[in-house]
Structure formats: C-alpha cells, structure tokens
Amino acid sequence: MNQAEAALAASHRTPALRHARPVLLVAHRGSGHADNDPDGPPENTLAAIRYGFEQGADAVEVDVWRTADGELVLHHDLTSDRTTGLAGFEIPNVTYAELKAAGAGLWKHARWEAEYVPTLAEAAALVPAGRSLVVEIEQGPDVVPACLEAVARAEVIWISKNLDTAGALKASCEQPVFWIVDTTARYEIGGWSQGHRRGPHSARVGYDQHADVVWLVEQALERGLDGLDTMFVYPPDLPDALHDAGLCWMVWTVNDPRAIDQVLADGAWAITTDNTREVRSWLAEAGGSR
C-alpha cells in the first residue's frame, strides 16, 4: 500500500481524524502553469514529471488523450495549438507521430526544445516508489481499458470530469477514483454551477445549473467512487456532505495560502497546486497541515 492508498484507507476508516492527518500534495501537470512557475519545465512532459517529484510532490497530475492511431498521450487541451508546434488540430484527430514531431517545449523556452508529447506509459515509468501518478482521463469510458493497461505497474489515482469514465474506472480497478466536478461560483445567476461531463464523447452537462451537493454525493456513491475533485471555490456544505458520506475530497488548483488554509480546515484529502515547492514548505512548517 503506497502513501496515497494508506491516506485514503485511513480517511475512510476514521473520518473524524480528517483534520489531523497529512494532506496529499499533487503537482499540477508536473510543473504547473507558466505564470506560477515560469522557470519550470513545460507542462505534461517527462521533464515536468521529474520536476514535480523533485519539488516534493506526493503525486504528479497529468492529462491524457488518445490519438487517432490509439496512442495515449499527455496533453491538457483538446487542441494542439497552445503547447505544441502543430497548430489547428484536435488531439484525437492526429497520429502520435505527428504530435511527437511537433515538440512540446518551445512554447515555454528554447531550453526545452527537446521536450515532446510523451505517452502515458512513459509517464508511469517515472513514478518513484511510494509516490503516485494522478491521471486525468479527458475522454469517455471507451479509453479506460487502454489507460489501465498503460499504467499497470504504477501507483495511480484516477480522476475524470466524465462521470461515465469515472464509473468505468472504478468498476475495472481497485485504485482510487475521483470525479472532477466544476463548482465555480456563477455570480450572474446568484449561485453555483454544477458542471460535469457524460458519455463517450464527454458531452458537457449541467454548467448552468445550481450545484446540488446531495445529488453529487449520490452519484459518487452509486458508482462506488472514492470521492470528488473540485475547484478551490466550492459550495460551503460540500465538505461536510462528503465527510458524512465517507468520501474523500481532492481540491484544485490551490496556489494561494489563504485558499490552502481554508481547504485544509474543511478537510481536504489532497490538494493540487502549481506551487509545489512553496506549498510543501508551508505544510512541513505546520507539521502536515496549516
């Protein structure tokens, strides 16, 4: 049992201790966003994964798509424009050879010219003993079998915005699975949105609806999921609802110390951040929680 699985098991067994245990620190896309870590490697590359662990992360988060020829690759956006030299294409519509040749580092700095779009299997091979890879599947449940095969020898925490994908993962493996839910405040409608995705093509659902925390918890329980992964802005009744249901709570992307204080006080099991080194030092100073 690795660190993530032990923390998850302890959280389920003794939910009343959620405020006392160490939080799992996850490096967002390895090195995080360019604005937060301008000197770090480009996101979702092998250099970024190594860097995230070097900065003290318990786990590194990556995003996964399947290319037109069936290769599982690390890439955040649907389109290739922002972080590769291949403009105007959607990742599922290009071959891996085309995508790899385009490179994945020049957008950040010339010193990263050699970085390319890696495969999920390559990423999984870099996970040190006792640490984990947090894999966000960006597509529908049809990619689940291939994803599980690609990381068969690594410690993985699975996350997905697609509820059907999350359900398929939990039905097929014993590793932790979290459903990513957009609970961003929508001030123009005077409340919260409840965004998620469904189906093989990850159709967007419910982004103009008020968040129903009870419904969110029910969906997670119905599929046997381990919890929810939400933005650091969330309905105030969400933490207690998850706690009462025996579910764990991951939070993204937490970069500000005030937000970290809040989510830790509310019982977050894991926080995903762009500021891995800083957050690790804050947690260490506070003995695991601020």
13 — pLDDT class (breaks 50, 70, 90): very low
Q: Which two three-digit tokens encode residue 222? A: 């119905």
3 — pLDDT class (breaks 50, 70, 90): low
Calpha distance 10→286 (Å, rounded): 20
Q: Which two three-digit tokens encode residue 136? A: 């966000």
Q: What is the pLDDT of residues 226-266, one digit of tens each?
A: 999 999 989 999 999 999 999 999 999 999 999 999 999 99
* pLDDT for residue 17 is more than 60: no
Give the whole-number percent of the chain exceeding pLDDT 90.
79
Give the residue-averaged pLDDT of 119-137: 98
What is the average pLDDT value for the chain, to the nearest integer? 91
* pLDDT for residue 180 is more than 60: yes
Calpha distance 124→194 (Å, rounded): 32
Judge residue 4's burial from the number of C-beta atoms within 10 Å of its C-beta, 0-12 exposed, 13-18 middle, 19 or more buried.
buried
Q: Name the pTM for this structure.
A: 0.92
Question: Tell me, what's the pLDDT at 15?
Answer: 36
Calpha distance 46→245 (Å, rounded): 37
290 — pLDDT class (breaks 50, 70, 90): very low
Question: Tell me, what's the pLDDT at 12?
Answer: 52
Question: Tell me, what's the pLDDT at 229?
Answer: 98
Give the whole-number percent of the chain exceeding pLDDT 70.
90
* pLDDT for residue 195 is more than 50: yes
Coil vs helix vs strand at 52: helix
* pLDDT for residue 187 is more than 90: no
Helix (H) or strand (E) holding 24: strand 24-27
Q: Which residue has the higher pLDDT, 5 or 197?
A: 197
Q: Which residues contact 26 (CB under 8 A, 6 or more apart)?
A: 57, 58, 59, 60, 61, 134, 250, 270, 271, 272, 273
Distance of CA 148 to the CA centre of its chain: 16
Q: Which residue has the higher pLDDT, 191 or 209?
A: 209
Closest of 143, 147, 125 to residue 135, by C-alpha: 147
Cα-Cα-Cα-Cα dihedral sign, residues 223, 225, 230, 234: positive
Give the residue-averaged pLDDT of 1-7: 62
Give the residue-averaged pLDDT of 263-280: 96
Question: Tell me, what's the pLDDT at 21?
Answer: 58
Question: Tell me, what's the pLDDT at 192?
Answer: 82
Question: Tell me, what's the pLDDT at 22?
Answer: 85
Closest of 136, 142, 225, 238 to residue 183, by C-alpha: 238
Give the residue-averaged pLDDT of 31-45: 88
Calpha distance 220→159 (Å, rounded): 12
User: Can you give the C-alpha Rg of the chain in angstroms?
Assistant: 18
| Triad 133, 135, 136: Cα angle to 5° | 155
Question: Tell me, what's the pLDDT at 14?
Answer: 34
CB atoms within 10 A of CB 178: 28
Q: What is the pLDDT of residues 149-173, one digit of tens each?
A: 999 989 999 999 999 999 999 999 9
Q: How far is CA 98 from CA 69, 102, 193, in A?
A: 10, 6, 37
Q: Which residue has the higher pLDDT, 15 or 186?
A: 186
